[in-house]
């Protein structure tokens, strides 16, 4: 029987959600939606020492911002969200979706493995193992070495249980049989074969914190939660054979999920996996949202705070490792859901190209209406004006109009300020380079004459002004470029900006004349 597709995203709450993790979540989501399946979110907090407060909320909020919806497990409560609160809810029939709250379940399965002889107790302390690794190069806890260690295989079950009774700390290790080729079928890479000799007897459970390790918890939960496809990063490929062995030891091979190991996101320069540090070093975010780490006090920048649109981040990330046939680059979430396929995920790692990310954002920005952008830009604009001590009510229609004139020059909403500040604030100084190049000896004379001409002008429309000024320039033979550029410097403070009549239109007669007068005095 064909089971309903069910995938999971299972992050650890050890800090902000890395952009690579976001892509993993995205691919899982696209796959689930395409197959009318279920997207589950589970928190893998089996390492109590690495827990970071707030990380769970962060992960859920980030996915919510990006439009990656969760069907089962942990997610943001919509009603609370609408009211501006962050509240986590748990949806589904599989008990808790936090592994730290599933201890009793893991106990049952650890015992099952112990009873069936697939696992054993081990008492070697971390220090002893550390010493062993120093002493013997390439030491590995496996079939070759386990009979020389402190465990229930060498000590006997009775003695082992006695030690446990006495409160001695122990772990449970998986007993890997040697000399066997383990086959893993990967949806992206095909068949991968690894000999069990290179696998070690992985720790499945640690009594110190009464928690399983990733490997055990992961397999048990995926089985219990009826996961059909495990889509995760390539760093898990080497341990996939171990997972196959675990499914087999439990007798679950018939419902074992299909695996797909995603290529890694690499550093933009040099080599290696993209890391948190690269963001700081190269000056771009590696996290979706800004994160204030309560544990170490660090603050990491986020895509949202940098002015990115969630759909741009999604589009950018989707194409980092996946590409359809053909040349299409702009994809909506719906298009991605329709066209995504694991078969077309590339096998090689992708270097993270931040410049291209900016371009994606630009594409989405110019697609948005001026009104929509004005809505987003208003707070930015108001803050800048406040900082400059300007307390003037700004008309949103004007803002939208101005944005329409300059939006194709920017990648991000906050950048609009540099492109349009002169519409709202008169220049207080004049760009030296522009002055050198465009402010000629005759410019004061030209501006004085232009001022007189404009003062008499009633109709302030672009057409009227053009019809007035151009013939005058031509008649006097001043040269269009010379007059217009000087005029522009008066209004803008530099040789840049949209068409001059678009500027005078927004400024209005009074402000235009005032700026020319000011320039005449100051330059």
Looking at residues 218 to 257 of the shown chain, list those that interact with RNA (rule: CB under 7 A). Answer: 234-239
H or E element, residue 120 = strand 119-122
Looking at residues 492 to 511 of the shown chain, list those that interact with RNA (rule: CB under 7 A). Answer: 495-501
* Cα gap 6→274, rounded to integer Å: 28
Q: Segment near RNA (CB under 7 A), from 90-98, 159-167, 187-195, 445-453?
A: 187-195
Pair of tokens at residue 363: 């594409």
CB closer to RNA, 77 vs 472: 472
SS3 at position 426: coil
Residue 185 touches RNA, criterion: CB under 7 A: no
Does residue 273 have an active-site annotation? no
Q: Segment near RNA (CB under 7 A), from 30-38, 106-114, 326-334, 378-386?
A: 326-334
Query: By the 8 A CB rule, do 124 and 150 touch?
Result: yes
CB closer to RNA, 102 vs 488: 488
Which of 32, 38, 74, 203 touches RNA by CB under 7 A?
A: 203
DSSP per-residue string spanning 24-76? HHHHHHHHHHHTT-EEEE-B----GGG--TTHHHHHHHHHHHHT---SEEEEE
Residue 152 touches RNA, criterion: CB under 7 A: no
Shortest Å, Cβ 209 to RNA: 8
Per the residue annotation, which of 276, 396, 509, 517 is the catalytic one?
276
Residue 484 touches RNA, criterion: CB under 7 A: yes
Residue 321 touches RNA, criterion: CB under 7 A: yes
- Is residue 49 classed exposed, middle or buried when 0-12, 13-18 and 19+ CB atoms within 10 A define those classes? exposed
Residue 273 touches RNA, criterion: CB under 7 A: yes
CB closer to RNA, 160 vs 485: 485
* Cα gap 268→355, rounded to integer Å: 10
* Cα gap 284→304, rounded to integer Å: 12
| x/- map, 69-88, RNA, by CB under 7 A | --------------------
CB closer to RNA, 66 vs 319: 319
CB closer to RNA, 76 vs 491: 491
Looking at residues 373 to 412 of the shown chain, list those that interact with RNA (rule: CB under 7 A). Answer: 408-409
Q: Segment near RNA (CB under 7 A), from 80-88, 136-144, 252-260, 296-304?
A: 136-144
Q: How far is CA 364 from CA 63, 242, 359, 376, in A?
A: 19, 44, 9, 14
Looking at residues 14 to 73 of the shown chain, list those that interact with RNA (rule: CB under 7 A). Answer: 14, 44, 46-47, 50
Pair of tokens at residue 170: 């122990």
* Cα gap 243→250, rounded to integer Å: 11
Which of 87, 159, 210, 353 touches RNA by CB under 7 A?
A: 353
CB closer to RNA, 175 vs 215: 215
Residues sharing a CB contact under 8 Å with residue 461, sequence separation 6 or more, in sequence order: 505
* Cα gap 167→169, rounded to integer Å: 6
Active site (catalytic) residues: 276
């Amino acid at each position: 029987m064909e089971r309903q597709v069910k995938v999971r995203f299972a992050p650890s709450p050890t800090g902000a959600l890395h952009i690579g993790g976001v892509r993993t979540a995205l691919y899982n989501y696209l796959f689930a939606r395409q197959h009318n399946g279920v997207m589950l979110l589970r928190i893998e907090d089996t390492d109590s020492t690495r827990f970071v407060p707030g990380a769970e909320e962060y992960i859920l909020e980030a996915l919510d911002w990006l439009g990656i919806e969760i069907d089962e497990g942990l997610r943001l409560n919509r009603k609370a969200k609408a009211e501006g609160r962050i509240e986590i809810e748990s949806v589904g029939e599989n008990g808790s979706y936090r592994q730290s709250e599933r201890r009793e379940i893991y106990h049952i399965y650890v015992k099952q493995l112990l009873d069936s002889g697939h696992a054993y107790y081990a008492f070697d302390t971390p220090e002893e193992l550390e010493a062993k690794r120093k002493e013997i190069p390439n030491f590995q806890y496996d079939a070759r070495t386990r009979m020389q260690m402190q465990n229930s295989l060498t000590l006997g079950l009775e003695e082992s249980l006695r030690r446990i009774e006495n409160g001695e700390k122990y772990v449970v290790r998986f007993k890997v049989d040697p000399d066997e080729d383990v086959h893993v079928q990967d949806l992206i890479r095909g068949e991968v074969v690894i000999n069990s000799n290179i696998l070690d007897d992985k720790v499945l459970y640690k009594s110190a914190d009464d928690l399983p390790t990733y490997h055990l918890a992961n397999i048990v939960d995926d089985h219990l939660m009826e996961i059909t496809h495990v889509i995760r990063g390539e760093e898990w490929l080497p341990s996939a054979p171990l997972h196959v062995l675990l499914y087999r030891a439990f007798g679950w091979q018939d419902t074992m999920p299909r695996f797909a190991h995603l290529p890694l996101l690499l550093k933009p320069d040099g080599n290696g996996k993209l890391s948190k540090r690269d963001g700081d070093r190269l000056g771009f975010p590696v996290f979706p949202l800004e994160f204030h780490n309560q544990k170490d006090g660090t603050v990491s920048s986020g895509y949202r705070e940098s002015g990115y649109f969630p759909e741009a981040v999604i589009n950018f990330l989707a194409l980092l490792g996946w590409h359809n046939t053909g040349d299409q680059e702009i994809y909506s979430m719906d298009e991605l859901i329709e066209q995504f396929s694991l078969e077309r995920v590339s096998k090689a790692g992708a270097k993270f190209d931040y410049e291209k990310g900016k371009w994606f954002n630009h594409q989405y920005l110019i697609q948005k209406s001026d009104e929509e952008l004005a809505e987003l830009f208003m707070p930015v604009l108001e803050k800048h004006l406040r900082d400059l001590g300007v307390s003037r009510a700004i008309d949103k229609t004007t803002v939208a109009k101005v944005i329409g004139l300059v939006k194709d020059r920017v990648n991000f909403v906050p950048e609009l300020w540099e492109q349009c500040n002169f519409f709202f604030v008169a220049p207080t100084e004049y760009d030296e380079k522009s002055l050198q190049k465009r402010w000629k000896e005759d410019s004061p004379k030209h501006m004085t004459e232009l001022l007189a001409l404009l003062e008499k002008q009633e109709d302030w429309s672009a057409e009227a002004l053009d019809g007035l000024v151009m013939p005058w320039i031509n008649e006097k033979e001043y040269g269009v470029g010379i007059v217009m550029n000087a005029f522009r410097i008066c209004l803008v403070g530099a040789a840049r900006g949209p068409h001059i009549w678009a500027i005078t239109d927004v400024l209005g007669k009074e402000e235009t004349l005032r700026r020319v007068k000011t320039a005449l005095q100051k330059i």
